[in-house]
Each structure stands twice: as C-alpha cells, then as structure tokens.
Structure 1
C-alpha cells in the first residue's frame, strides 16, 4: 500500500475531484427548480448525481490499481460485448427510447447507455491493435484498414440510435491514436478527409440534424423553434457578465433553457458565476489535458502510451464539443460535459477512463522510482507484457 501511495498521481486525482465536486454543486444549482416541479423534490437530481459520483469514484479507485495491460488481453470479449449491447439497444421492446432516440438499456431507474461503453472499448481496441501491428503499420491493407472496418461498424450502430455526437467523439479519439501509431501521413490525411466528409454528409442527411445545423448558423431566424435552446443559452451567458448573478440565482433554469442541468449546464455556470466561473472550469480541463499528455509522454509501454492519449483526447474533445454547442460555435449534438453534466452512465464511464489513466501513471511512476533507487527492472508478473511493472503485483 505504501508503494501505491508513493506512486499515485495525486495531481490527476486533485483535478478529477475538483471537476466532479464542482459538477455536483452546479447540478443542484441548475436543477432544483425543475426537480421540484417535475418530481416534488428539489434534491432529486442532486441525490442521483451524488449516488453516481460515489459509484464512479469507487470504480475509479479500483480501476486505478487494476493492471491496464489486462484490458489488451481481454479486448476480443470486450469488443464483442460492446457490439452485442449496441445491437440490443436497437431491438424494439429491448432498447429504451427517450426524446426520439433509442440509446438506452435497462429497467426502471437502472438504465445505461451502451454507446458510452463503446468509448472505452474502441480506445482500448485501437491502442492494442496498433501496438501489435507496428511491423505492418505502413501497409494500408494489412496494418491500417482492418481496425477501421470494426470502428466503422460500431460507428454505424451508434449513428442508427441516433447519436452522432458520441460517435464523432469516438472517431476523434481513435483518429488521434492512429495519428501517433506510425501510420504514413498520406494514409492518415486521406482517412481524416474521408471521415470529415462522411460526418458532414451524415449531418445533412437527416432533417433533425439539418435543423440543428441551420439553428446553429442563425438561431434568431427561429427563436421560438429550432433556435430556442441556443438563444436562451446566449441569454444565460450574456446575463452572467464577469462575476455572474450569484450561485443559484439563474433565471434561465426556471423553465426557459432546456437541458439546463445536462447538455447546457455550462450556460448556467456562465450566468451564475460569470466569466470567472467559466475560466475556472476551462483551466481545470486544460490541466487535465496537460496531465494526460504528460502521462502519454513519460509512459514507456507503447500500449499504455496510446491508451493515455486516447482517453485524454476523448474526454477533452467531448468537453470541447459540448462547450462549442453551448456557445454557438458548433452544432448542438446532445453530448454532455464530462464530470460536470448530470448523467449516470457518462459519469461512470468517464471515471473508469480516468482510472485507467491513473493506473498507467501509477505503474510508470513506480518503475521510475524503482530504477532511481538503483534497482534493476522489476520482474514481469503478467505473461506477455515485457514492460509491465506494478506495485500492486510486485509487492
């Protein structure tokens, strides 16, 4: 236990706790009026978010001491299970439909979103496959194409739900992994251009997506219809000014701004805490970005490096997509703000992703401390992993 504590990345832990505690506070502030009207309990969403926060933190601490290399060994059943769940959610009577989208599985209050699990599955899959395919990485057909076919099939299933926002965030994270895996530049940029064109075509292919695009370009053309949410988001942001109206003093959350505690929680942050509150949140995400890249740079295990980069970019890109939608810089996709927005599945999956990053950092820190002490490389305790070193298993 002492070795674990000495190698633990407390800087990463501090950023995670600050974001999640701030998110819990803002979920209560942005939802108590709506919760009172809809459920007769102003603490309804706060209590549920607190429960998910406790579950998420528990899983985070467990995953942080669980050897990340084992995910690579189990990647086939992980991907297979993910595909089964993505298919199951589309079966009538099995998948749960909400707001014209069929994205959930479960019963009663216990429901989850399989596309959230796909974030972890495809990042682990890409990291492991491209680590193993280094000898064929310059060959498009042998080294690059096979994993892309699997990713394309998963993306298609997520799109049918429909959930273009989550699918796009997965594409971006996998694209980042691909970009540093040693792929030839001509292959990477050709694929990037094709993916961008494909997402653009999909965005214009459905009426509801086209409506979101047109409202994003000019929300005031239909302020009571397709532009309603963004117009009220602008009002929240504009009202906040530099210091905000004060915590819990938002007017827009009183039935004017839809999804105030979920997708558009940042607009309430801007209204109640002003520019200073937004700047503080952005600084925390930037610190998380720098911490993730630091773990990527210091990690010697190729699989761990790609995992750290993939999870970092997925979480930060999701945050940027959400913030872009709230400010009108990007179309509204319905994607949540990591660790801050209300939502159980999203929070738990984000904590698991961060737990894997913590384990990567913990193992590398332990290895460096072991070498600085003048010792030789610790003995390998996981079959087939030459660079696996963990205080959990090495005592």
Structure 2
C-alpha cells in the first residue's frame, strides 16, 4: 500500500529522483553549517535552516505538480512565459531592488524574486520549441537560428545590464542547444566569430572605462580620505548605471588576472576576503575534511551559504565529498541525456537536455569560482546553495525533466536514430 502510494507520488526517472534527494540532503546540512552569519544576525541558529527547508518543500511541491503535467503542454506556456519574462526583466532595470550590490530582484507584494531565473528556463523552452518545429532530415532549418538569435538578443540584453555572468552562461547553454539541434556549421561559425569580436569589445570597454574599486580605495587612502561605506556610489559619483557595473566587472577581472602565489602572511584579508577565506577553507580540508558542521571559515567567508558554499563543502567533506557532489551533477547530465535519447519527438529531448545543461553548467562555474579557476560572480550552486527564487525554480526544472521521463513518447527499437520532428 505504502509502496503504491510512493510510486504514484514520485513518478518519473528514479535515478533523477535519487540525485535530487542527495543534493537536497547535502544542501540542508551545508546551508545549516554555513549560515552562521545569518544565525548571528537573526538571533536563532535554526531559523536559516528552517527557512531553507521550507523553500525546498515548496520547491518539491512545485516539482511534483510539474512532473504530473504532460510534457507536450509545456509548449502552451511559452507565449505567457515570454511576456512575463520581458515585462519583469524590464521592471528590474527600471526599479530593481538592490541586494549585495546588484539590482537583480523585483519586489511584488513583499516577495522578492529574480526574473532572470524565470527568463533562463523560458529561453531554453523557446529554443527547444523552435528547433523541434524547424527540424528537417538534414538538420535544423536556417530560420531556426534566426528565430533563436532574435529572442536571445532581446532577453540577454535585458539580463546582462545587471547580471552579465547569468547572461553569458545562458548564452553558452543556447549555443550548446544549437549544436544539439543540428544547426548548420556555417551559422555556428559566424556566430562564434561575432561573439569573439563582441567579447573583445566588451572587455576593452570594461578595462577602458571601468574603475577598479580596490585601486580607488588605495588612492583615497593615500590622500588620507576614509571610505566609510563599501557602496561604490561613495567612490564614483554621478556615473551611469552601466559604468557602475563596469566598475564591478573590472575589479573582478583585475583581481582574477593579477592573482599570484604570495606568502600567507602577506595576504590582505580585508581586500580579498572572499577569495582568501575560500582558499583557506580549501587548503585546510585535507582529503576527508573536518566533518559536517565543523567549518571554521564560514564565520569569515561572505556568502558562505550561497556563492561560496562549495568551498565550505570542500572544507567539511574534503576532496572526496567535493568530488561526490560534482559526480552527482555529472550523473544528472548523463541520465538526462539517456532520457532525451529515448524520446521519439524532438521537443521533449531538446527541452530536457537544455535544462540539464543549464543546471550543470551553472554548477560547474560555481565550483570553478570557489576554487579560484574563474572570476568571482554571483552564481549559486544549483539545488544546494541557499536561495529563494533559484531554489524553487530549479526544482521546477527538475520536475520538467521528470515529466519528460515519464510522459514523453519513447522511440521503439526499430525507430530511426534521430528523433522525429514535432
């Protein structure tokens, strides 16, 4: 009786379910351990964990609803999601709520959320729909590339102003979906050429017109000027919003490019707090780690429960535990690839792979930031980091993959190698 009830509730691919639950368990343990700063500010060491558990329960509830929807109905939601994404992203640019130096949040009826999280899934859904409709026996129709690029430019332009890293990662996922969708190599080659030139131009603009916050502070200190606030408006007055973001980007690029091995006693913990304490956490972990809840750097590392939670995982669970977390994302990607390969139609296959690539790419980038292989950004670790919008939306993305695993029409052994166009 109980087994029948559980099987009806937890539908879809069992391996995806197992990966999801392992990530949730790791998330609860590590968020509880890494939230000492929030516990101190709130006066309760259990409050951050209970709030995170509530968000996970809400996410699981949304995930169960999503997995019970037939995958073909996701196409119906595309026009509505596009309208919502464009309106909310535009509202963020006009009146976004500033948190941790970025106006990426929108406050509606007292609830804050990041429209970019919804826009990411919307773009993956749109790309999957376009490439499934315009798929031919010889690959994707050339018009598919034009439609996807048109939508991408519109959505990414609204995201990149305040969240360049999210826009870049989303664009990378779209390019990978184009490759999976059999876009003509001539179009992909031209796209990569244009992107390369545009990337060089953006970096030149940032380095030419942006100001390094740390260098500006040093200059002010040399003239005996004390900066009371970390707000860049105190340093760079009357600068347009796009130049203020350029300041942030240049500071991060300079810090990453100028990183070098220096003696421990020469490290400036005030200037490079995040990177320094993350390095200390990793260096002190050894192979097996200090054990769950025994992190020492969580009290000093800013955003230890979010952007740098992987550093805390390494410190507490060691190289073995950190490798295990990375392996869970690899299983998620390859299991989703198997689900997509079994689909008879293109749309569910492209959608499942797009969502999996988005989750795994973001996870990989977060890990690279934590270990010093990429510049510091605000990308959380999917399904593990403490968050509001991202936690619930990522659960919905898993729900979509589970829906495809159970409701998408499967190919028969005698079917052609390529899925049929929808």
Q: TM-score range by the shorter chain?
A: 0.7 to 0.9
Q: Which moved more, 1:200-209 or 1:33-42?
A: 200-209
Match of 1:36 among 27, 35, 39: 39
The one of 212, 218, 230 equivalent to 2:275 is 230
Q: Tell me the equivalent position of 1:192.
A: 192
1:311 to 346, 355, 370: 355
Contact 2:285 2:316 in 1 (8 A): yes
Structure-2 residue corresponding to 1:285: 329
In structure 2, stretches of 5+ residues that fail to align are: 207-245, 414-419
Q: Any conservation in 1 of the 2:135–2:141 contact (CA below 8 Å)?
A: no
Of stretches 129-138 and 186-195 in structure 1, the one that deviates more from structure 2 is 129-138
- 1:19 corresponds, among 16, 23, 28, to 23
- What is the aligned counterpart of 2:403 among 354, 359, 378? 359
1:1-395 paired onto structure 2 within 5 Å: 8-31=12-35, 33-92=36-95, 95-107=96-108, 110-134=111-135, 140=142, 142-160=143-161, 162-199=162-199, 201-203=201-203, 205=206, 206-219=246-259, 223-224=268-269, 227-254=272-299, 256-364=300-408, 367=410
Deviates more, 1:200-209 or 1:41-50: 200-209
**How far has the Cα of 1:137 moved from its partner?**
6.5
Paired residues of 1:338 and 1:347 also in contact (CA < 8 A): yes
Q: 1:129 to 1:258 in 2, by over 3 A?
A: same
SS for the counterpart of 2:190 is helix
Cα distance in 2 for residues equivalent to 1:203 and 1:264: 25
CA contact (8 A) 1:319 1:337 kept: yes
Q: CA deviation at 1:134?
A: 2.5
The answer to whether the 8 A contact 1:60-1:355 is kept is yes
**TM-score when scaled to structure 1?**
0.86
Shift, 1:307, TM fit: 0.3
CA deviations on 1:182-215 (whole Å, 9 max, x unpaired) are 2111211321343344345435521211211121
1:138 Cα offset (Å)? 6.0
Are the counterparts in 2 of residues 212 and 226 from structure 1 also a CA contact under 8 Å?
A: no
**Residue 130 of structure 1: how far off its partner (Å):** 1.6
Do the aligned partners of 2:133 and 2:421 also contact (CA within 8 Å) in 1?
no
Unaligned stretches of 5+ in structure 1? Answer: 373-385, 389-395
CA contact (8 A) 1:203 1:209 kept: no
Matches of 2:195 and 2:405, distance apart in 1: 32
The question of whether the paired residues in 2 share the 8 Å contact of 1:262 and 1:341 is answered with yes
Between the aligned partners of 1:203 and 1:262, the Cα distance in structure 2 is: 27
- d(CA) in 2 for partners of 1:147, 1:328: 33
Q: Closer, same or farther in 2 for the Cα pair 1:359/1:127, shift >3 Å?
A: same
Distance 1:350 1:250, change over 3 A: same
SS at 1:246 equivalent: coil
Q: d(CA) in 2 for partners of 1:329 and 1:82?
A: 32
Q: By how many angstroms is 1:219 displaced? A: 3.7
Residue-by-residue CA offset, 1:244-274 (whole Å, 9 max, x unaligned): 12221111111x2111000000101111111
| 327-336 vs 185-194, which moves further | 185-194
